[in-house]
Amino acid sequence: MLNNNEHQQISIYRRILSLSSILLPYRHILLFALFFILVYAVTRITGIIIYHDVIDLRETPKLLFNGLRTDISGLGYILALPVLLTFIWSSLPEKISRIFFLIEKVYLLVIGSLVFFMELCTFPFMEEYATRPNRLFVEYIIYPTELTKLMINGHLFSVITVLSLMAVFIFFFYKVLNKLSIRKNSFNPVSILIFILIGALTFISARSSFDHRPFNIAKASFSTNQIVNTLTANSGYTLVTSIKGMMSENNYTYETMPDEDILNTVKTDTGFDYSPATENNPTMNHLSPTGINGRKNIVIILEESMGAQYVGFLGGSNLTPNLDRIYHEGLGFSRLYATGVRSVRGIEAVTAGFTPTINTSTVKREKTQKNFFNLASVLKDNGYHNSFIYGGESHFDNMKSFFLGNGYTEIIDFNSYTNPIFISSWGVSDEDLFNKALEHFDNMHQKQQLFYSLVFTSSNHDPFEIIESFAGNVKNRDTAVRYADYALGKFYDELKKKPYFNDTVFLVIADHDSRAWGNELIPVKHFHIPGVIFGGGITPKIEEHVVSQIDMPKTLLSLAGITADVPTVGYDLTNLPENFNGRALLQFYQNFCYLKDDGSAVMILPDKKISTATYDFSTKKLTESQENKHLEKVALAYALLGELAYDKGFFSVKKDKKL
């Protein structure tokens, strides 16, 4: 006779065996995941060995960790369907379950083969393009003749090697899948619970984050070395991210114009010295600085959602006494307009002088992730230390990858703060941000190091979480604006005490207004933003011309004493021509607006539509007006320039022969 303890032990064993039998149908999914984690790891380690002389080996632990996280995330998406199919075929009658079983095996064979193929293609592709397979991998497919010639004439050994290994893989993988057999489960609450738990684990793996945003390729990036960031993500993940980026580039088009006409029209309109222009950089023009008393540091304070509607100095609602004070003490712009309604649009304009496009901002587009002209690329060549300082997660909107790939040598973001005063959904408070910025500037000054910093605020953002000692229980836009201004005022007062204040050119500028809405094709009044330059011996002045965010890079370089050849068609606002007729470029989703000093406004719309209007700066209203063919041509040229510059790589910082 068995005693009670023995009966209990047998009961436990039976439960374990029962649970094991329920889990058994999912075993092949786990093995699939483990196999490809191994494949990814082998590729990554091989890459580290191949490129060991161009990467910092001290970064390899983080490379491998972030790489593993990327792999698990990607596999989470891949295995979501097999998990569902396994639950279905393990619970249904045998005749029906065989159909779902077959679907799953075909899926695993196809997806597994594609994943393996992408890893095999990694190093041949990296040898040519110094990056994992990306959008070029897809774009070349539409040119089969050229692609075939390229592969056979230039990479025949790689082609043979990849195809041979693929044949071996498919053969053995097919054999393994054929040995899988249907393992039945009884359809009961326990099997349903197991499926829910495995499904939840798959979802968590795919998302790989409990933050507001799921894990992505930008979050995996951490190095200023592009090869390190390239090796971090696996090739399948990189390619899918690239395809998603391509798909987000909408197929909207404007009225067309020959490339040569676009360039000639813009060049004639600006009248710059285009003698440095090259075949691949036809907009390259020469900048001679107005600031000649030695080189100066540059700091941009990019204020989140700070529209002119809140700024008393600009006729707004008197919520910004500190910004108003700075306007009285610096070079202020009374008719400055944002290029768009998203932060990334402001970033590309303020830091690179890039004209807005009908498609996604260059910050998020693949061709601009390295060797893309911006302030940092110019200043890096002039011995500056370049940094991006942010209170939140720098991977948001792909900022981290964009900056690391284009001349920024240091990223200071949420993980860089110790004991912050306040943390909101978007990161630390603006006070914490500015304290960190001061700490960084002090450090650079002590090292006698010229520096450029982009400081991006975030407190003035929905859901308007502000430290209680300032806001009390009031959480709204006005309170957030007042706090953003308060923090800016404290920062400004501290800056004026610093020994490097007069050796630094500071720009306070908004990325965009808080909202851009209205029944007009272009809500022009919601593109009006504040902008003021101070420090560096700046003489107080108010510039009343209509100007754009794209004018800021050349203006800052000029004031900092930098001589450079630049591809941006923005103006140096400290050295305007006598007959200057101000203009601004506004992009409202698919609609583009070219705004002039006299209120003339040409709106370029999708499907080859052009509308001419007049903007009243007092009433802030647009009214229809007679067409102006010359102005329409100029407006269309500017509307098309950004996409042409992106497509042809006009902002590439690589050297090219002159025209």
Q: Residue 54: exposed, middle, or buried by beta-carbon count in 10 A (0-12, 13-18, 19+)?
A: exposed
pLDDT of residue 136: 72
pLDDT of residue 155: 76
Joined together, the tokens standing for residue 265 give 């029209």
- Of the candidates 482, 505, 184, 55, the residue with the CA atom closest to the CA atom of residue 311: 482
pLDDT of residue 77: 93
The DSSP letter of residue 454 is E
pLDDT of residue 292: 67
> pTM here?
0.80
Which regions in the chain score pLDDT beneath 70?
A: 1-22, 139, 142-143, 145-146, 150, 153-154, 184-187, 212, 224, 245, 248-252, 292, 517-519, 655-659
pLDDT of residue 17: 46
pLDDT of residue 659: 45
* Type and span of the H or E element at 440: helix 430-446
Contact 216, 401 (CB under 8 A): no
Strand order in the sheet with 591-596: 583-588, 591-596, 600-605, 609-616, 621-624
**Gap between the Cα atoms of 544 and 564, Å rounded:** 27
Count H helices and E strands in the chain, helices first: 22, 18
pLDDT of residue 16: 47
Q: Is the dihedral of CA 328, 329, 335, 339 positive or negative?
A: negative
- Of the candidates 505, 487, 508, 477, the residue with the CA atom closest to the CA atom of residue 314: 508
- Which residues, at least 6 apart from 359, have a Cβ–Cβ distance to it below 8 Å? 248, 249, 250, 252, 365, 643, 646
pLDDT of residue 657: 46
pLDDT of residue 567: 97
* DSSP-derived pairing of the beta strands 427-428 and 451-456: unpaired
* Type and span of the H or E element at 529: strand 528-529
Q: Cis peptide before 523, with omega less than 30 degrees from 0?
A: no
Contact 344, 357 (CB under 8 A): no
Joined together, the tokens standing for residue 120 give 């095999």
Phi first, then psi: give them for residue 203, nearest 5 degrees: -65, -45
